[in-house]
Each structure stands twice: as C-alpha cells, then as structure tokens.
Amino acid sequence: MEIIKQPHITFIGDIDGKRILRKLEDSGRKCWQTDAKEDSSEQFVGKIIGRGHTSVLEHEIFTCDIITDRGVMSELTRHRIASYSIESTRYVKYNGRMQFIKPVEFCKDPYDEKTPDDYELELIWENSCRESEIAYISMLSYGAKPELARQVLNNSLKTEIRFTINMRSARNFFDLRCDVAAHPHMKQIAIPMLLFLQEKVPVLFDDIKYDKKFADKYLKNWRDMVSVKEIGG
Ligand SMILES: Cc1cc2nc3c(=O)[nH]c(=O)nc-3n(C[C@H](O)[C@H](O)[C@H](O)COP(=O)(O)OP(=O)(O)OC[C@H]3O[C@@H](n4cnc5c(N)ncnc54)[C@H](O)[C@@H]3O)c2cc1C
C-alpha cells in the first residue's frame, strides 16, 4: 500500500492565454460582424462576461489529468457539461500496488499542533485502507475478478481522471467547487486549478472567489500540485 500525500493536476498542453482570448474575441465578434483591433481581446472578453453573453466562452476548452480519490471522482462527475475518461476499477487489477490519497484534513500545516484525536483519526483511516487492500487481494486469490473485488475498496482509492471542460462550464465549476461550502477534497483540486488559470488568463477567471482561509491553511504549496504536460504531435 502506498499513501499519496496530495492530489495532482496536470494540464495537457500549456494554457496560452493570448491565443485563447483572441479566439474567444473572434467567436464573439461573429455576432456583430466586427473586426478585432490590436490588443482588443482582453477588454472584449471582459465585456462579454460582464454582459452574461457567456455562451461565447464555450468555444475554448482546457484538458487536465487529475490524480485524486474515488470520493472526489463522484463529486467531480456531477458536472455534466464536461468530459471524463476515468481509471477503471473494473479493468485495472490492483495487486500489490494499491494507492490511497491522504485526506487533506490530515495534512495540517506542520506548525499547527495536531491533537491526539487527529493522530487517532489518521490511524483509523490508514488501517481501513490497509484492511481494504487485504480484503481485495484475498478476494482475487479466491478467484474474484477485479469488478467484484473492488466492492471492498474505500473512497480514498487513488484514481486518475482526464477532464475536459469548456471555459463557460469551468467558471460554473470553480464558482461551486472553490466556495467555502464545497467539500474540502474538491476545494483541494479546484482551487489550485483556478489559481493556475487566473495567472494564465486573468480576465476569464479573476472574478471567481475562492475559500482563502482553506487555501492559506492547506494549499500554500499549490504550485507543486499543478504541472503542464506537452503532448507532441
Ligand atoms: C456544496 C455542494 C453540495 C452538494 N451537495 C449535493 C448533494 O448532497 N447531493 C447531490 O446529489 N448533489 C450535490 N451537489 C452537486 C450539485 O447539486 C450539482 O450536481 C453539481 O455541483 C454540478 O453542478 P451543475 O449542475 O451546475 O453543473 P453541470 O452539470 O455542469 O451543469 C452546468 C449548468 O447547466 C445547466 N444544466 C445542466 N443540466 C441541466 C438540466 N438537466 N436542467 C436544467 N439546467 C441544466 C445548469 O444551469 C447548470 O448549472 C453539491 C454541490 C455542491 C457545490
């Protein structure tokens, strides 16, 4: 068994903010049959968002690979206006290399004092992962297929998800999942994605609020949680 300390997000291809804004401007200008001017795209897209003419934003997407757990997977996939390819617990056989994602609640800042209860909770969780791995491997040894043995796995099982979403739907996703009310494990993946995109294409995402208290407590290292992978042609 391996415990993964935190989720990870890999953007597939870098986010070229200028190119994205130029394409969105070009798409929006179809409505009025006007031409773009030099450096007009940022202001144009800002206006589009301000007026709620956000269907234009659907012409641009981003794709990323998310390493997270099965609990987050079930929340993430509630977002219907997105596309998913998800590691299959039916076809992937986890014999001897089962990985679990450590819940963010157990990843307090090292300078925060952990209470005895914190240690106890973490131990209970770790034992349940170990037990679920043992049960899974026992079931395989009695001839069960992974599609049956998976029933004993817990929600912390690592899973990999390819996630593609258009910019309009992404704004809705971040609004809901970076908010104070969102589940901490969702915030743990959504906020680093948002912060990364706010740097790349500020005008598209700057107005979206996120739970700063949570970010200060758990996401000081958010840059380590995000990377970019280029896929060569
Ligand atoms: C804090 C929080 C708690 C939650 N708790 C629960 C819970 O306890 N139980 C639970 O089941 N879910 C829960 N959810 C999930 C939530 O109800 C949504 O399913 C999820 O957030 C996806 O949001 P969405 O529908 O806006 O996104 P998408 O599915 O991506 O849809 C995007 C937008 O498209 C439009 N749309 C999509 N489909 C339809 C449709 N059929 N009809 C009309 N408009 C549509 C809506 O405007 C929608 O906002 C929770 C979400 C949050 C953020």
- Please state which CATH number belongs to domain 1-233: 3.30.1360.170
Q: Which residue lies with its CA nearest to atom 11 of ligand 1?
A: 78
Q: What separation in Å is there between the alpha carbon of 111 and the centre of ligand 1? A: 37
Ordered by start, the domain boundaries in the chain are 1-233
Reading the chain (233 residues) residue by residue, the pLDDT tens digits are: 999 999 999 999 999 999 999 999 999 999 999 999 889 999 999 999 999 999 999 999 999 999 999 999 999 999 999 999 999 999 999 977 899 999 999 987 665 677 888 889 999 999 999 999 999 999 999 999 999 999 999 999 999 999 999 999 999 999 999 999 999 999 999 999 999 999 999 999 999 999 999 999 999 999 999 999 998 76
Q: What separation in Å is there between the alpha carbon of 79 and the centre of ligand 1? A: 6
Q: What separation in Å is there between the alpha carbon of 194 and the centre of ligand 1? A: 19
Q: What separation in Å is there between the alpha carbon of 169 and the centre of ligand 1? A: 11
Which amino acid, one-letter code, is at 23? Answer: K
Q: Which residue lies with its CA nearest to atom 37 of ligand 1?
A: 80
Ligand 1 neighbours, Cβ below 6 Å, are 78-81, 169, 172, 176, 181-182
**ipTM of the prediction:** 0.97
Q: Which residue lies with its CA nearest to atom 16 of ligand 1?
A: 78
Contacts 24+ apart (CB under 8 A), 137-145: 137/95, 137/96, 140/93, 140/95
Q: Do 211 and 181 touch, CB atoms closer than 8 A?
A: no
Determine how many CB atoms are found less than 10 A away from the CB of residue 14: 10
